[in-house]
Structure 1
Amino acid sequence: MKVVVMGAGAVGCYFGGLLAEAGHDVTLIGRPNHVEAINAKGLLLETKAGRRFIPLKAATDPGAIEPPDLVLVCVKSADTEAAGAALAPRLKPDTAVLSLQNGVDNPQRLSGPIGRPAIGTVVYVGTEMAGPGHVLHHGRGDLLIGASPQSDAIAAALTAANISTTVVPDIDQALWSKLILNCAYNALSAIADLPYGPLMQVEGTREVVRNVVAECIAVARASGVSIPDDLHDKVLALPGMMPSQKSSTAQDLARGKPGEIDFLNGFVARRGAELGVPMPANLTLQVAVKLIEASRGIGR
């Protein structure tokens, strides 16, 4: 396949690298420093199994790409509409577009600019950019994608590229479950600048996580979304699975970049206000991250 990854950060580089390694024609669209490094030497992928350079193409603008068969949209939530508008002229009628983004409303926001339904995708992977063109993998690397006429074929191709991919009938439930996971840890990891393992060793953190998750479940169910009864336990299990992983919000703050807190805890707080469901824990975490951004002069 011809594959374009729109937003070649840690997530986009990791999955794009695996697809290129499996023989697909991959182009990463990303920031100039990453693009220059990748075009010069290839993408450096570092995993527990070692380090390797993967040859693929990279560009800063999708305007010159050949029309792809598959697009993985991995940009920050605030950039969703702009990314869709930039991609739209390069898409074929049958190009499949997957939204590999945090939050629950990106597929809908992306569908307008691209003129077709975007396929919602839930990402479970621990990665970070360790330098220009250098992606570091901490754990997992699997996807859940929504049902569509193309989804089974996409899932088969991704799985063949060592990206375990499952088509799920209720993508809204899966997206909300991932959102709740992000709301539990992203802000706390960013505020403390700690990975998940040490974070949970601080007294009181577990209780804060429980309060955040309870609020999120309440607003999800008030929105008509079915949430699994064991979600609390799954959320609390994450630090044991990826103890050395810092949240994407923590990574954004460390780079002096605005994060996605308005689309995570902020989204839940706004939705709760609309539905009359109190969201004090989520609102507090949103404001705490925004205060850190303001104190460091981080803004759009």
Structure 2
Amino acid sequence: MNVAVVGAGAVGCYYGFVLAKAGHTVTLIGRPALVAAVGSDGLVLDSAAGTASVPVRATTEGNGVAGADLVLVCVKSGDTEAAGAMIAPHLDPSATILSLQNGVDNAERLSAVLGRPVVPVAVYVATAMAGAGRVRHNGRGDLILGASEASEGFAAAFAAAGIPTTVSARALDALWGKLILNCAYNALSALTQLPYGRLVQGEGVVASMADVVRECVAVAGAAGVTVQPDIFDGVMALSETMADQRSSTAQDLARGRPSEIDHLNGYVVRKGAALGIPTPANRMLHTLVKLAERRG
């Protein structure tokens, strides 16, 4: 299988590594530093099993998707339209495009740019870049693919590569569940620069997270989305299964980069306003992260 990864950050590099290790041909599309590092040392993964490297192709150009059977779009939510425009002229007509992005509307937005279906994917993995062309895996790695004609086949290929994967016609519900997890953790982890396990030990943190989750569940319900009734138990479980993970938003702020907060807590605030649902806890977190971004 020929796989292209658009937006080769921590998530894209992790899945690119696993698929390349399983024998698939992988092309990463990312920054020049990544291209140089991968060309020199291959794509490197640090994990509990040790350190390993695999050879992959890498480029900064959108034509890296040419000939790909499968395209994994892993760019930040704010870059969705730009990434779509970059790759659109080079996509094979038979290629399947998966959106492995935070937020709930990226597949829809990307599909509008490309003029073809995009499969939404809920991603559950703890990763971080340890340097150019080097990704650290901290836990999990499972996927929920939206239903499409090709989804079952790709799910089987992922599973064979060691990526636990299921296919669901309710992928949007799963994406909302992931959004709620992100709304509970990302901003607080970013503002404190604490990993999840230490974060929840702070005074008032669990109660604040409960406020955030209640607002998200109310907005989801008003939008016709089904959320698991024990969603908060799942939120709290993350502080154990990913105790050492700092959020992607925390990593962005630490590097002085714009975060995806507009598509996480900010999305809930906007959706809540449209549906008449108050979201003061989410609004405060969104506001504080935006201020931290301005500080640089």
Classify the TM-score, shorter chain: over 0.9
Cα distance between partner residues in 1 of 2:198 and 2:279 = 26
Partners of 2:109 and 2:72 in 1: how far apart?
A: 15
Matched position secondary structure for 1:163: coil
The residue that corresponds to 2:67 in the other structure is 67
Q: How many residues align?
A: 296
Q: Aligned equivalents of 2:168 and 2:234: distance in 1?
A: 18
Other structure's SS at 1:45 match = strand
Pair 1:116–1:65, CA change in 2 (3 A): closer
**SS of the residue aligned with 2:5?**
strand
User: Post-superposition shift, 1:194?
Assistant: 0.5
Q: Counterpart in 1 of 2:32?
A: 32
1:66 Cα offset (Å) = 2.9
For structure 1, list consecutive stretches of 5 or more residues without a partner in the other structure: none
- Please give the alpha-carbon distance, in whole angstroms, between the structure 1 residues aligned to 2:193 and 2:99: 27
Distance 1:185 1:64, change over 3 A: closer
Query: Partner letter of residue 67 of structure 1?
Result: G
Contact 2:145–2:168 (8 Å) recurs in 1: yes
Structure 1 counterpart of 2:237, one-letter code: A
Quote the offset at 1:39 in angstroms.
Answer: 1.0
Alpha-carbon distance in 2 for matches of 1:163, 1:64: 23
RMSD: 0.8
Q: Which runs of 5+ in 2 are unaligned?
A: none
Cα drift, residue 64 of structure 1: 5.0
TM-score w.r.t. length of structure 2? 0.99
Aligned position for 2:150: 150
After superposition, the C-alpha distances for 1:189-226 in whole angstroms (9 at most, x for unaligned) are 00001100110110100000000000000000000111
Distance 1:250 1:268 in 2: 19
Deviations, residues 260-293 of structure 1 (Å, cap 9, x unaligned): 0000000000110111100000000000000111
- Are the aligned partners of 2:27 and 2:64 in contact in 1 as well (CA < 8 Å)? no
Aligned ranges for residues 31-50 of structure 1 at < 5 Å?
31-50=31-50
- Deviation of 1:169 (Å): 1.8
Aligned-pair distance for 1:63?
2.3
SS of equivalent to 2:112: helix
* 1:121 is aligned to 2:118: no
TM-score (norm 1): 0.97
| Amino acid in the other structure paired with 1:150 | A
Give distance in 1, aligned partners of 2:109 and 2:59.
Answer: 24
Q: Which amino acid aligns with 2:106?
A: N
Any idea what the Cα deviations from partners look like across 1:121-147, whole Å, max 9, x if unmatched?
000000000111110000000100000
Q: How does 1:281-300 map to 2 (within 5 A)?
A: 281-296=281-296
Q: Does 1:139 align with 2:139?
A: yes
Equivalent residue of 1:138, what SS? strand
What secondary structure does 2:8 align onto?
A: coil
Alignment check: 8 A CA contact 2:29 2:61 kept? yes
Give, as a single letter, the amino acid of the residue that structure 1 aligns with 2:180. I
Q: Which residue of 1 aligns with 2:93?
A: 93
Q: Distance in 2 between matches of 1:65 and 1:101?
A: 18
The one-letter code sitting in structure 1 at the alignment partner of 2:40 is A
Alpha-carbon shift at residue 65 of structure 1 (Å):
4.6
Deviations 1:14-71 (A, max 9, x none): 0001111111110000111111101111011010000011111111112255321000
- Counting aligned pairs with the same residue, the percent is 57
SS of the aligned residue for 1:274 comes to helix
8 Å Cα contact 2:4-2:64 kept in structure 1: no
8 A contact 2:189–2:195 mirrored in 1: yes
> 2-side partners of 1:108 and 1:11: how far apart?
20
Q: Structure 1 residue runs of 4+, over 3 Å off? A: none
8 Å CA contact retained: 2:70, 2:97: yes
Aligned counterparts, 1:73-112, within 5 A: 73-112=73-112
